[in-house]
Amino acid sequence: MALDVGFKKIGVALSDPLGLTASPYKIIYRRSNRETFEELLQIIEEKGVEKIVVGIPVNRNGEITRIGQKIEKFATKLEDFLKKRGKDIEMVFQDEALTTLEAKELARSLGKRKEEFDDYAAALILKEFLEGLQRKKQ
């Protein structure tokens, strides 16, 4: 599962069981952390998620941005929440450079409203992560 974490929305994408494809799944509209975490937990349980890839913005120097630091804190809180619920899910970070822009273009080409692209951004983050795993295997 991949997450494109924003202040108001979180894009969610899922891969197939073999980790070969990445597909947009849904957009979660953030409320309290607890409500948001409960909704994510439901997806994790329903879909048998074993790893969460979190998109994180990195600047040109390879350093995590201020927004990225906030996303890291969110991910740490989510990880703690999941552990308390008996879910030991691996959390990894993936540079999300240009995924938002690319996702907007993709969503627009598919006829989606311009503000509803977060799940596509998450799918692009997951796609890049999966492609990186494939390159490492070669």
pTM listed for this prediction: 0.88
At 104 the pLDDT is 65
At 116 the pLDDT is 75
Q: By the 8 A CB rule, do 95 and 1 touch?
A: no
At 1 the pLDDT is 97
In the DSSP assignment, the letter for residue 62 is S
**C-alpha separations of 75 from 119, 130, 135 in Å:** 17, 20, 26
pLDDT digits (tens, 9 = 90+) for 33-72: 999 999 999 999 999 999 999 999 988 888 899 999 999 9
Q: Determine the Cα–Cα distance for residues 125 and 54; give it in Å rounded to an integer.
A: 8
At 60 the pLDDT is 85
pLDDT digits (tens, 9 = 90+) for 81-124: 999 999 999 999 998 876 666 666 766 676 666 567 788 889 98
Q: Determine the Cα–Cα distance for residues 19 and 98; give it in Å rounded to an integer.
A: 22
pLDDT digits (tens, 9 = 90+) for 87-96: 999 999 998 8
